[in-house]
Amino acid sequence: MTTEALHALFLKHPKVSTDSRSIPENGIFFALKGPNFNGNDFAIEALAKGAAFSVVDEDFPGEPRCIRVADTLTALQQLATHHRMHSKARIIGLTGSNGKTTTKELIAAVLSKKFRTLATRGNLNNHIGVPLTLLRITRETEMAVIEMGANHQGEIGFLSEIARPDYGYITNFGKAHLEGFGGVEGVVKGKTELYRFLMENGGTVFMNADDPIQVEKLGEYGNQAGFSITNPAFEVIRNLTGGSTVSLEVRGREIHTGLIGNYNFTNCAAAAFIGTYFGVPLEGIAEALEAYRSENNRSQMLERGQLRIVLDAYNANPTSMAAALEHFAALDAPRKIIILGDMFELGADAATEHEKIAQLALQQRPDQLYLVGRNFYETGLPVSRYPDFESLVSELKARPIEAPATLLIKGSRGMALERVLEVL
């Protein structure tokens, strides 16, 4: 079946699933394959559960509702691009090493004050998640914020070809996925694939004009717009952050958010700038930013009795670790306790980067420092080190943390350090 014919079918059945456990009634199931599964094995089951059709790349004789294509993943991606090109929605592509999901949610919240806006759900930002997000665009959608994630060079360029954004923004370039990208220079090259796509196709590039890497990579490209703390050639957004939460000033209006960490200022500034660019009323921008609350273990401020907890356990890399420690150092608290978990995908840099972060944490002179995971354990530093999470739990049960205290809990997703809350 051609992409055009499949799209005509999709318009009559505009709900798509790649998971046979959650089949939308009268929708379309795409039988994707993976290292440990074959979606074709569930094609008939999907039909029995209510799917109108199953898109497969194996033969199903006698079942006309199984639509054969050469490759189901390619068919899904091509369908998404075709659908996007037939939509009137304006697409904003978003990538970066840190803060992608928070920035995406902030931008969507701001734009929703004026436009019917769609955004990536959670972190469905890969070669499957991006197409699924594009296929959620309807005739009513006016703006779509598409998050793009990657851990190798070439991926952002590929996702850009699928989503074909009209606009794009890169949050930053940090020490994330160094193993896949081949070092920090590889990170910059990989992330700026979004900007290269936009420049090659006449798109508009949004930029943080205070980021020298973005300024350098964009050069004299004429179709750019951005924000700065001080540069009057761009939208000036002042950083008023002084306490534990982010505050900013946009066109004379002070905005006080519920987000913690000075590192979130740039995320808020980007959302505010994009709002002004698209003519969202200043009052709406302020309402959206002030109402936003972080969740899903991202920079959350929690209370457990007399324990105040900064929970940032969604993910971690050396750049975000350093930023979190900097914010924690600025907090006014009588007793401070730091719990750090391993950072993943650092390759040959793992030992060096874990040593640097451990030393940075030690420089803060916390009342207690816990390092968790094989990489931190092997630093050999004279602090409380645990090779795995279970060892940490045993320690905390034997010697509970004394209240009152303020805690920072941060580690990569695979460490799942939010489980510490159950012990506290």
pLDDT for residue 151 is more than 80 = no
CATH 3.40.1390.10 domain residues, the chain: 3-73
pLDDT for residue 317 is more than 70 = yes
Spatial separation of the C-alpha atoms in residues 131 and 79, rounded to whole Å: 8
Mean pLDDT of 312-329: 88
Mean pLDDT of 342-347: 91
pLDDT for 182 equals: 64
Q: pLDDT band for position 389 (50/70/90)?
A: very high
pLDDT for 179 equals: 65
pLDDT for 316 equals: 87
Q: pLDDT band for position 227 (50/70/90)?
A: very high
Q: pLDDT band for position 72 (50/70/90)?
A: very high
Name every residue whose Cβ is closer than 8 Å to that of residue 191 and which is 6 or more positions away in sequence. 95, 96, 97, 150, 156, 170, 173
pLDDT for residue 36 is more than 80 = yes
pLDDT for 65 equals: 96
Give the type of residue at 261. G
pLDDT for 297 equals: 65
Q: pLDDT band for position 261 (50/70/90)?
A: confident
In the CATH scheme, what architecture does the domain 300-423 have? Alpha-Beta Complex (3.90)
Q: Residue 112 has which token pair?
A: 């929703």
pLDDT for 178 equals: 64
pLDDT for residue 304 is more than 90 = no
pLDDT for 185 equals: 79
Mean pLDDT of 278-287: 98
pLDDT for 143 equals: 98
Q: pLDDT band for position 180 (50/70/90)?
A: low
Q: Residue 259 has which token pair?
A: 């987000």
Mean pLDDT of 242-266: 90
pLDDT for 343 equals: 93
Q: What is the mean pLDDT of the chain?
A: 92
DSSP 64-133: TTEEE-S-HHHHHHHHHHHHHHT---EEEEEE-SSSHHHHHHHHHHHHTTTS-EEE--TT--STTHHHHH
Q: pLDDT band for position 87 (50/70/90)?
A: very high
Q: Break the chain down into helix, strand, coil percent, rounded to 5.
A: 40, 20, 40
pLDDT for residue 388 is more than 70 = yes
pLDDT for residue 177 is more than 90 = no
CATH 3.90.190.20 domain residues, the chain: 300-423
In the CATH scheme, what architecture does the domain 3-73 have? 3-Layer(aba) Sandwich (3.40)
Mean pLDDT of 174-191: 72
Q: pLDDT band for position 176 (50/70/90)?
A: low
CATH 3.40.1190.10 domain residues, the chain: 87-291
| More confident of the two residues 342 and 36 | 342
| SS3 state of residue 300 | strand
Among 107-116, 168-177, 379-388, 403-412, the minimum mean pLDDT is found in 168-177
Q: Residue 319 has which token pair?
A: 């750049």
CATH number for the 87-291 domain, one of 3.40.1190.10, 2.60.40.3120, 3.50.50.60, 3.40.50.2300?
Answer: 3.40.1190.10
What residue has token string 């995406």?
104
